[in-house]
Amino acid sequence: MQVVNVKASCSYTRKADACGRLGPCRAVKSAFSSARPRGSWSITRAATATRVVEAPPKTSIPSGGDPWEDDKWTKYKWTIYRGVAYDLTPYLDRHPGGRWLLNLAIGRDATALFESYHLRPEVAVAHLKRLPVLEGFPVEAVPQAPRPNDSDLYNAIRQRVRKEVFKGSEVKGAHRSGSEGAALAVLSYAAAAYALYTYDANPLTGGLLGLAGAWIGLTIQHCGNHGAMSTNPIVNNLLGLTNDLAGGSSLMWRYHHQVSHHVHCNDDAFDEDVFSAFPFLRFDDRLPRYWYHPYQHIYMWILFPFLQLVFQVGDWKALLDNRTVGATMYGASEFERQTVVAGKLAHYTLLYGLPAALHGPSAMLAGAAGYLFTQSIVLATTFAVSHNISETKSLDAGPTRDNLDQPVAERDWGVQQVLTSANWGGDVGNFFTGGLNLQIEHHLFPAISFLHYPAISKIVADECHKRGINYAHYTTLPEILSSFVRFMADAGSAPQKPVRRDGEMVMLSKL
Ligand code: HEM
């Protein structure tokens, strides 16, 4: 293994994007060709000496022009599927999954989104092939997304899911049906908790409302924004917008969660869940280690209750920058951007304004604190356990590390989703977490209603078993929680490891 010495430029990282722009800054460019998200750290190849790279060996603007800057291309709503650029303009208002989901494909290689969202890919491909192809488009300037349909594992699982679980009824949208009752339960509980909160704002009623906020976050907004809660895209969109009422932003969430996290699960360069908490928390031993990280498994419990407040800052910043930490929002419409502002105002009015007017500022603050802390801690822990245990982010050499060490375009995407996710519990956990306890199935089929995950999990486990692929399943939440705490302790203490980029081993370093 050769270790070489490079210090990359921050100008490059300012424009790079998960599955989007390659960041072809004309002044100074990086020496590695994988796109990197904007973050607070840069790449330093583990070095005996360090040098600044000024030559742009692999990222120069191709002769076809700059797809994100040149009028020739920006006049189109372009996307790339398997090396071919298409103009989505004529399809925007005709997409059966809704325009708001199709927007995610604009300005990037959308192959992974496309192949992981359509249970009948042959139908979606037939529609795609009827769209205008952009001849002469500089496809090589756009980072290649993973290609789920190249995964033997994924194809085998999907085929069996269609045959054994849906038995052809996916034609009628059966895969997006079934969770209406769960949506009603969540909304009813949220309405009752809010009535109680406005009647008497205190830490207890705030905490009960916080549970509603977390349940919305895990279930109806999550599945709605994935297009999985209903056969009607408008219903999905509306359920997705409950994210805004609960204190998040459905628009930011779609880019952060769907474009960055889902497509690139646990990739240190593209999955913003890996690095967005850095330097406070070190979720990966490929990030630099600071003196306080060995204690992170203790102090993280003091940080987690503030997660919701961190969302507030992040959402406003993303709106101003037109990008989340890991993904640029090339396709976000003006209307979608306006819903962010409207949603924030509605949330602030409901959580702070109305109770302050009814009961005074002190009661409001006590109640709101109960809400924020409860919602944050439930969300932080349920999210974190799914991808941060030794099986899903191994600190030592092994299949997970081998998979992630491969270039994005060459990785087996199906295997990556299985190896980097972990399950816990059964049907009860499934109901209360909107299927997020069956994280492996959720990552393989984000657009399938979560009530089908228990049936799908049997097929996934079987196919993994046949191929000798590890399928991580914990019986209970406390079990996976303690594994998560152990992982955080280990990741906080582990020496920094280099990552592989273009065949070379490189170290990430703070700017
Ligand atoms: C890029 C071009 C795209 C085309 C041509 C396209 C086409 C289609 C078609 C034909 C369907 C109906 C499928 C069926 O009846 O089986 C559909 C459904 C759907 N699409 Fe797309 N789609 C595109 C991109 C996307 C993207 C980027 C997403 C998500 C981020 C997405 C999410 C969905 C969802 C959730 C459904 C409903 C689920 C389903 O029917 O399987 N689509 N799309």
Residues 81 and 214 in one domain: no
pLDDT of residue 226 exceeding 90: yes
Span from the CA of 19 to the centroid of ligand 1 (angstroms): 18
| CA distances, 102 to each of 93, 118, 322, 331, 450 (Å) | 9, 12, 17, 8, 21
Residues 216 and 359 in one domain: yes
CB 19 near ligand 1, within 6 Å: no
CB 79 near ligand 1, within 6 Å: yes
Residues 311 and 223 in one domain: yes
Quick one: pLDDT band at residue 510, thresholds 50, 70, 90? low
Residues 126 and 198 in one domain: no
ipTM: 0.94
3-state secondary structure of 296: helix
Quick one: pLDDT band at residue 508, thresholds 50, 70, 90? confident
Quick one: pLDDT band at residue 509, thresholds 50, 70, 90? confident
CB 329 near ligand 1, within 6 Å: no
Residues 107 and 214 in one domain: no
pLDDT of residue 505 exceeding 50: yes
pLDDT of residue 329 exceeding 70: yes
Q: For residues 38 and 121, which has the higher predicted lDDT (pLDDT)?
A: 121
pLDDT at res. 222: 97
User: Residue 85: which CATH number?
Assistant: 3.10.120.10
The answer to whether residue 231 sits within a structural domain is: yes
Residues 200 and 299 in one domain: yes
pLDDT at res. 17: 56
Q: pLDDT tens for residues 462-471?
A: 999 999 999 9
Domain limit, last residue, from 123, 143, 163? 143
Q: What is the DSSP string of 137-202?
A: --GGGSPPPP-GGG-HHHHHHHHHIIIIIITTGGGGTGGG-S-HHHHHHHHHHHHHHHHHHHHS-S
Quick one: pLDDT band at residue 129, thresholds 50, 70, 90? very high
d(Cα 401, Cα 267) in Å, to the nearest integer?
10
Q: pLDDT tens for residues 137-151?
A: 999 999 999 999 999
pLDDT at res. 51: 26
CB 101 near ligand 1, within 6 Å: yes
pLDDT of residue 343 exceeding 80: yes
Give the nearest ligand 1 atom to 447 CA: 35
Quote the domain boundaries for residue 109: 71-143
Domain limit, last residue, from 377, 393, 412? 377
Span from the CA of 105 to the centroid of ligand 1 (angstroms): 11
Nearest residue CA, atom 34 of ligand 1?
97
Domain count, the chain: 2
Residues 114 and 248 in one domain: no
Please compute the mean of the pLDDT values over residues 27-48 and round it to a whole number. 41
CB 104 near ligand 1, within 6 Å: yes
Please compute the mean of the pLDDT values over residues 302-325 and round it to a whole number. 95
pLDDT of residue 71 exceeding 50: yes
pLDDT of residue 244 exceeding 80: yes
pLDDT at res. 18: 52
3-state secondary structure of 188: helix
Q: What percent of the chain has pLDDT over 70?
A: 87
pLDDT of residue 369 exceeding 80: yes
pLDDT at res. 61: 53
Q: Which among 413, 470, 402, 472 has a CA at the least distance from the CA of 443?
A: 413
Span from the CA of 91 to the centroid of ligand 1 (angstroms): 11
pLDDT at res. 45: 52
pLDDT at res. 178: 87
pLDDT at res. 44: 55
pLDDT of residue 28 exceeding 70: no
